[in-house]
Every structure is written in structure tokens, then in C-alpha cells.
Structure 1
Amino acid sequence: MNYIRKTLNWTAATLLPLAFIACTDHMDDPTSQKMMITVENVLDSRPLVESGTFKGVGTPPVILPGESVTIKFSAAKGEALTYATMYGWANDLFFAPVNPGIQVYQADGTPIEGDVSSQIKLWDNGTRINKAPGKTVMHPGVTDSQNIKEVKGVDAQGNTYLPASSMMQATLKYDGSSYFTLTLKNMTGGTANETPFSPGVWAVSYIVGGNLLNPAPLYTMDQPTANGMTSIAEAGDNAPLSNYLTGATGIFTPLSPILVVVYNGIDNPIFKNGENDRGEGLKELAQKGNADPLAAFLMGKPGVKKVYVLPAPTTKVLLPIINGQPGSSVSQELDVVAGDRIAIATMYGFSNDWFFTSMGNGTDATQKGDISTGIKLYDNGTAVDQFPGAGITQFNLAGTPLTESKAIMPVPNPNPFTTLPEINHFIKVTLN
């Protein structure tokens, strides 16, 4: 995957609370011991938020002239849908939008609807010599070794084609809550370029700080074909490219600066499962990654001994594992005594209002080792949920959260949007 950390220069405008360390007025206790808390983002991230396949209804499952298929997907502002399907009666031609794909929002965030066929192009995979297209074309044909090129009316061998937008109609419909349906219709019937379309693949890349993590998931113009596109372009077999996309599809999220609170003689001061947000600052953490309001409130709460907000060096947010590079981590030395407890909180950055936090009454502050089993993902209940990483109202994707008022509850898994990794594959918390 050609996505690296330099694409993540986005934290200046998002998830940037002012980090501070604060404590209430306690004298040092001679019985105290020093503990080091470390929080790591251990998510093995993926660049594609969604991907899938489509096919016709017959046997074989091609899309014949006059037939249509639909693709249902979710997207945030700046994200695009790309797809690929074979021009069936040719040697190695395929239809696909120009990278990065079909744009689905206007600059102001208004969903785009209607005919978007003009964004579709016909491409030559470069792996076969093109014969005259038609029902009698012989597959696979004579081997060639060229880069992927757009077919602009005439291929390299002089065969002619209608514009892609005349052969394939693409219609976009907004279904609400960041969901779209793209309908592809085969319009080649009765033309000189009549052809079936093969089963295909589609994908949507995450956008981070205005940059798509993978702006060319399927092909790159003027580069050799790769990752299974040849199987689609030559034989209409979408399985190899689908397998590749599946491996590149999953979860990507930063974690906001970590709030750590040390307390004694009280219940977990951050929240209680089943209650509505208390209006003490947790909403700002869960929706925007800003822990400062909650930290300021906790500082004055009886029983709270110390409060920390820990940003990662340079990036402020804790980035996940990217291309095998370790995720971000933060550490803080604590002075604790027997009876002290610790709780943490951090935003699931690419959500509407999900946050990781300590369950129940937190963790014994003198306990040593991995305490990640005490962490759970909760829905703050203050913003309407959308597909994580593909929602138009997610604050860290340039959106404005839509208000709701529900009790704080664990995020179900699987949930209506996706299946998440286990908590210990997101966040690791240790005390030593």
C-alpha cells in the first residue's frame, strides 16, 4: 500500500486539545510508590474503509445490455467510490472511474445525485493485443506488456469505441446518513460496441487530513497492471482483485490525547454506564477528542487526586500501526498509594462519539502489568452514529455532529456498520 505517515499531517486542525497535567492540592505521601502508565495505539490499520463486489443475476453472472447492478456504500466528504468491470467482448479492456473515483459530495458537503457517467473511462490493461471487439473475439489473445492506458475512442491497434459514458450509465442516489447507492446500467445494446460487463469490484479509501490513504486502489494509469486487475480485464474474474482489496480493507483510527485520572474513595469520576452524558466535558472528548473540559472539571472534584492529558509527540493524536510501523504511545509517571484507582478515556477518532475508557470503577493504581482487559469502547449517546471513518457528520472528517440524547452504552460488535477488532487490538494500557 502506498500510504505513509506523511499523509497524516492533519492534527493541527483536529483532535488538538491543549495538553496539561494538573493535580489537586495533596501533600506527598511517604508511602506512595511510583508507577508508569503507558498507552499505545496497537491497531494494525488498513487504508480502505469499505470494499466489495458486484455481479449480474444470470449464469454466468454478467451484466447484459439493458441490465443494471447497484453498489451501496458509505462515504465522508472527500472520499470517493472506485470500481472496475471488464468490457466482456474485448481482450483486456475494463471500465473504471478516473482515480481516485466518483466524487459523491460537493465542496460544501452537499451530496451529489444524478448522472455521473462522465467520470467513467475505458481502460486498456496492456496485457493483450487488442483484436476487433465483439462476440467472436478470442480469449485470452496474444500477450502484450504495456502500461495501463485510457482508450480515447481508438485503442493501440486502431479499434474504435464509443465514449465510456455512452456504454455505461452511472447514477448516484443519496440514501441519507452518508449512505449512497450507485447504479450501473449496460447501455451497449444495439451499438457497435455491444458487450456484457463482467462481475466487478469496488472500494472506498479513508481520507485523513484531506488526503486519501489509497487514492488508486485498483489501478494506476501509465503503470503496469497489478493486484489481480488482469484477471478482471482478461477474463472477468473478480476474485483475485477482491481478495487483494479485502486484505486492504478494515479499520483506521487515531486515538485522541489520553486523559488519565487518579482518584481515591469515589466511583469512576469519568462516567457511569447507562447514564446520559453528565455535561462535564465527556461529550467534547467523545465527539472532538478534546479532553481539556473534562480534565478541568475533574480537577475540582472531591476524591480526584491527579488528572493528566497526554498527547503523542509531534502528532498529538496516537496514530495506529501503518505499513508495519509501530503505532504511537504515551507514558506518564504516577505517584500512587494503596487504595488509589486509575481510569483513562480517549476518543475513537474516526467516529461520531465513541470513546475507549476504563470499565466500572477503573483499575487498582498499584496493579502491575497489562490492564487492557479493563478497557471498553462506549457510545456517548450525544451524536448520531455513522459508518466509522465514512460519515459526513464526524467532527474529525470535517463534519458537524448531529445531536441525540441517549444513555452511554457499550458499542455493539458487530454493529450496524462494521465488525471491529477486539479491544486489545486497538489499545494497550500497561502499568509498571
Structure 2
Amino acid sequence: MKHKHLLWLSVAAIPMIMASCDKDDNSSGSSSATKITIENVLDSKPLVESGTFKNDGNVPLIMPGHSVSFKFSAAKGQALSFATMYGWSNDLFFAPGNPGIQVYKSDGTPIEGDVSAQIKLWDNGTRINEKPGEDLIHPGVAESAPQNIMEVKGKDAQGNTYVAASDLMKVSLHYEGNSMFTVTIDNTSGSTANPTPFSPGVWAVSYIAGGELLDPHPLFEEGKPTANGLTKIAEMGENAQLASYITSQTGIFTPLSPVLVVVYNGIDNPLYKAGEKDPGHGLKDIAQKGDASKLAAYLKTVTGVKAVYVLPAAETTVLLPKVGEQAGSSVSQELKVAKGDKVAVATMYGFSNDWFFATSEQGIDATKKGDVSFSTVLYDDGTAVNQFPGAGITQFNLAGTPLEESKAIEAVPNPNAFTTLPDINNIIKVTLD
């Protein structure tokens, strides 16, 4: 499903805080002008997670009396969508209504237990429906003109009858803690008038930003034609094509906070020291909230620091990633630098608990020219418990409150416990010219 229907979100709703301050350049000796530019070059994706499910036995079908489970992470406002074939039909499938199954109450309390009432039976609109049952021949007769996806409410277009989807399928949620859920799908159709196996299926969770889901229709849209391989599931129970599509739509989405830029000379990198705990001068506020004001104010008092800047993106404040054909945001600043000067940069990985991008401990030679992104590292500040980036209930920029911890600052491994990130130079680009 293409995402051109998505209107870009109002980033004013993302509570990354802008700070702004400068420190006079009191250096002696000759100086020259250079310009630093920081860009969010991430080719973002609308789905934070996706996957497939099937029976783990010799037969991948989920037969009456059998069940299947899988795990996923989610933040408040995010929803779980999935699709699986009503096996003994021509082109019917089970799925929750869009945007999917809500997994938190409005107060942020995880929802647990039976959520089957949210499951519906849908007609894919590509085959003429016959009486459902084991003897039905697949795929059957094609519609002369494909119809739009419609909910089956007791009867299909040909008058065949069905009991409620929630009688055929039981779906339950269990909260595992730290934003992770287990969903279990039970085939309860065996004792009904509509016994049927369920096919291997697909599932997806959309990012949310500014209170809006980036893709509220990840698998299908009611009243619209089927697309992206859903027909293969609905007609034949084959999930590979739709799984390939949702995989292409799953990945990383994150803004970057207003960027802290520091010019210094004769001292160690004044922002942080890997292997040690956050020094308490304001780095935590960048890493958890995207607020550089406290650290910027502190740095103005540090001997050896020559200039301090906090650079918000025009209009949006945060640096947005690339979305489709829309380029990502960038910020620039003219600097006065002299031989021996170094530059340090820090900005929050916006959809994390306490991750931040920063130049390496050695800093950047301020007189160097060109792309210096290779010197950028993604760090874990060690001050908040990590969750799936972009799907954490306690992530500040997803309206959460970080869970405090106290560990040393260290580089974020890749792959990490949650996901595999793009190379850093495919997320943030730093240039001196």
C-alpha cells in the first residue's frame, strides 16, 4: 500500500525542546571561517515492526483447536494489525479493523485478555464466493471486475452465511513488561457452523509521531482495492508476497533533536566520556528529551570551550527524516575556527529512551573539510531503561516518562537487542565546508 495518502505530521506535537545560546570566541591567533551542516538523511519507514506467523508443526495451517503466538512491542497509540485467510473460503480473510488492535488504554495501562471483539471477517473482492467448506475448490471463479474490500457481516455478497468472526477466532493479549506483548490467536471455529483452518499470516505495527500513525492502513483499507500481495493470502493462504511488501515498509523512523555544536581547544571532549556515567551537566536532557539548553549553559562556563550553538530546524525545530520524496531536515552554522580547534556535536535519537548521536571522543578537526560523518557514534546514555526504538511506552517523545537507570555511557551495538539500524552515515550526515 502506497503512503502518498499520508499527510505529514505536525512536529510541534513532538515535545523536543529547543535551546539557543552562544559563547563569545576569545581565542587568540589567526582564525578562519567554516560552516558545519548536520542533516537527517534517514530514508524512513512507516512500520516500526512486522512479521509473519504460522503453525510450527508439520502443517503450517492453524487448524480448529490449534493456536499460534508471537511477540511485538508497542507504544501508547500504536496498534497491532494482522491478516490470515479463512481457509475454507474463496477469498475471505480475518483481520482487525484499521488501524488495528489497540494495546493500551487512554491512561497508558496495557490491555490484556480477550480482544476478539475487534476481529472482523473481510471479503477480498477478487473471487465469487461459494458455500464455505472443506470441499470448496480454490481459487474458484474470478470476479469479472474486482470489487473493493468489504466487511462480511453475517452474509457475503452471494448470500452465504457466517457466524461472527469473534466466534471463529479468539485473540488475546498478554503484557510481558517493558512495552512488549504476546498475542495468541486461537482457532475456535471447530464447534461452529463455519469450521475452517487459518492460513499463515502477516502482522504489522505502525510508527506514531505527533499523535498520528504514519500508516493507519498497513495491510488493507476497507472500500479500496486489495493490494501488495493480500490477494495471495485471501485466495491461497500464501503470505510470502505480502510479507515481502511489509518488510520493505518496516525499518527506522526518527527525528533528531536540535543539534548541540561546540568548538573547543586544549581540553578533552567536553560532552561525555565513554565508559563513564553521565556527568550530570545536561547530557541526560539531550539523550532523554532532546533538550540541549542545560548542557549548552554549562559549556559556556568551561575553560577551553570557545563557542556553543544549539541549532533547531526551521519551522519544525526537530530534524525530520526523509519521507518518500520529501528530503530530510538540515541545520547549518558558520564557525570561527583556528588551528588546533575541535568540534563536538550531539543530538538525540528522537524515538529512543536515551540514545544520542555524538562525534567520537576525539572530536572533529575543526579545520577539516568535507563529509566527517564517519566520526559520529550512536551512544546509550545509560540513564533510562531501553525499549524498542519507536515502540516504547516510556519514551519521552512518545508521551512517556523514562524509567531511570544508572549505567556507563557506551556505544549502541548494531544489531542491538531490539532491531538492526542502518549505518550511521545513512541516518546523520555531518559536513564541514
- TM-score category (smaller protein): over 0.9
Deviations along 1:229-279, one digit per CA (max 9) or x if unpaired, are 000000000000000000000000000000000011111000011110111
Residues 218 and 229 of structure 1 are in contact (CA less than 8 Å); yes or no, is this contact kept in structure 2? yes
| Counterpart in the other structure of 2:39 | 40
- Quote the offset at 1:31 in angstroms: 1.4
- 1:11 Cα deviation from its structure 2 partner: 2.6
CA RMSD of aligned residues (A): 1.2
CA distance in 2, matches of 1:45, 1:350: 12
Extract unaligned runs of 5+ from structure 2. none
Native 8 Å contact 2:393 2:400 kept in 1? yes
Task: Find the aligned partners of 1:86 and 1:5 in 2 and give their Cα distance.
Answer: 28
| 1:23 aligned counterpart, secondary structure | coil
Superposed CA offset, 1:64-83 (max 9, x none): 00000012100000000000
Q: Distance in 2 between matches of 1:197 and 1:269?
A: 58
| CA distances 1:300-357 after superposition (whole Å, capped 9, x unpaired) | 1100000000000111100011013211000000011111110000000000000000
Q: List aligned pairs for 1:34-113, cutoff 5 A.
A: 34-113=33-112
1:190 lines up with 2:191 in the alignment = yes
Match of 2:210 in 1: 209
Letter in 1 for 2:313: A
**CA positional deviation for 1:103:** 0.3
- Counterpart residue identity of residue 26, structure 1: N
Name the SS for the 2:223 alignment partner.
coil
Shift of 1:10: 2.9
Residue 135 of structure 1 pairs with residue 134 of structure 2: yes
Structure 1 residues 94 and 386, CA gap change in structure 2 (3 angstroms): same
Equivalent residue number for residue 153 of structure 1: 154
Contact 1:79-1:103 within 8 A present in 2 as well: yes
Structure 1 residue 16: Cα displacement: 2.3
Conservation of the 8 A alpha-carbon contact between 2:349 and 2:357: yes
Kindly tell me: are residues 148 and 310 of structure 1, through their superposed partners in 2, closer, same or farther at Cα, counting changes over 3 Å? same
Report the number of matched residues. Answer: 430
Q: Mapping of 1:228-243 within 5 angstroms?
A: 228-243=229-244
Q: Alignment partner of 2:351: what SS?
A: coil
Residues in 1 aligned to 2:121 and 2:131: alpha-carbon distance in whole angstroms: 15
The 3 A distance-change label for structure 1 pair 176 and 270 is same
CA distance in 1, matches of 2:14, 2:351: 14
State the AA in 2 paired with 1:57. Answer: D
Helix, strand or coil for the counterpart of 1:274?
coil
Is 1:225 aligned with 2:222?
A: no
What is the TM-score with the length of structure 1 in the denominator? 0.98
Amino acid at match of 1:344: V
Which residues in structure 2 correspond to 1:32-431 (within 5 Å)? 32-144=31-143, 145-431=146-432
Q: Distance in 2 between matches of 1:291 and 1:126?
A: 53
Gaps of 5+ in 1: none
Q: Report the 3-state secondary structure (helix = DSSP H, G, I; strand = E; otherwise coil) of the residue aligned with 2:191.
A: coil
Shift, 1:6, TM fit = 4.0
Once residues 7 and 82 of structure 2 are traced to their aligned partners in structure 1, the CA distance between those partners, rounded to angstroms, is: 26
| TM-score normalised by L of structure 2 | 0.98
